[in-house]
Homo-oligomer: A and B are copies of this chain.
Amino acid sequence: MADVARVAGVSSATVSYVLSGKRPVAPETRAAVEAAIADLSFTINATARSLRTGRSSLVALIVPDIANPFFAQLAATLDEELRGLGLHVVVCNTRARRAEEQALLAEATQQRFAGVVITPFRLKPNDFEPIVGAGIPVVVSADVSFGPIDLVTPDAGNAIRRALEEVAAAGRRRIAMIAGPRDATGGDPRLEQLRALALQFGMSLPRELVVRGEHARQAGAAGFGELMSRRYRPDAIFCGNDVIAIGAMDKANELGVNIPADVALIGHDDASFASLVRPQLTTIRYPAAGVGRAAAQLLIERLNGRQVHKTVHIKAEFVARSSV
């Protein structure tokens, strides 16, 4: 009771009035006491869990780019979903580097983390063997599978078809892509999917209109510059994610290229800034909150003893704004 009073910033007597209902208490005071009780019960749960299982109450979210708001949103949702169980989400940044991805998995294993949600970039499926062998639940959020591990992955076919319809309706035919690096695990599935679907629309995505780089703003700028210097210039550019698209916009401003008049631009993710930039970015929305909820659910099922692995597909959605 003293703890509740301390956290709520009220007297012990007030806490007892709230619990007993023997005296009237102002609504905001009651709310503060109730919030303190809820918060403390989370803390107690966490400690109890950790004593019981010999595990920490930490869940690592391991991401390639902590500055990408998509991952901030994913972190916030995961946190929201797991805090009720007394778990704390900590976010780790790998900068898409294989050695850091490996080091962080090793750290999570050694420290007996309660679980890991990871967007791997250059890991291989067998990099997961030690952590899975240690009995720590792992969920991968990625476009490709990393072996027999729980997976949350986009179902983006319809959204990309809608984007291609929009591009075609604007009379555009010469599509290009600023894709991820060649050595990412599984290559760039967004590129393969775009190529396959473009054919259905009678458009091709020729080799010389694919440029590659990291999922970074500078890479987007460099890629856009490269495409604009081609003899066969594209009139619509798809980007591996929204961060790349913002970099492309930087370069367009610098070169005096008008979007969408000269070239259309399509992002991927619908990160928070996509509707803040001008022109507002047309994009394939991959809902971070939906991904976070699915990942939390998979993790909770594992903590409750599920053994067989599962894949959850999250629908992506075409969002028409002003860059096409």
Contact = CB atoms under 8 A, between A and B. Distances in A.
Given A99-B40, A106-B43, A276-B277, A93 B76 contact: yes
Main secondary structure of the interface of A (DSSP, over half): helix
A7 B99 contact: yes
Copies of this chain in the oligomer: 2
Interface string A70-110: 00110110010001000011111101011110111011001
Contact of A66 (B72, B88, B100): B72
Interface string A54-77: 001110100000110100110110
Contacts of A40: 99
A106 B39 CA distance: 14
Contact of A93 (B46, B79, B107): B79
A146 to B, nearest CB: 17
Contacts of A95: 79
Contact of A39 (B90, B100, B273): B100
Which range contains the number of A residues in contact with the other chain? 35 or more
Contacts of A58: 90, 107, 111
A246 interface: yes
Given A7-B99, A66-B75, A273-B273, 9 more contacts: A9-B183, A35-B99, A39-B100, A46-B107, A56-B111, A58-B111, A88-B104, A91-B91, A276-B277
11 contacts: A7-B98, A39-B97, A39-B99, A42-B99, A56-B111, A60-B90, A67-B73, A75-B93, A90-B91, A273-B276, A277-B277
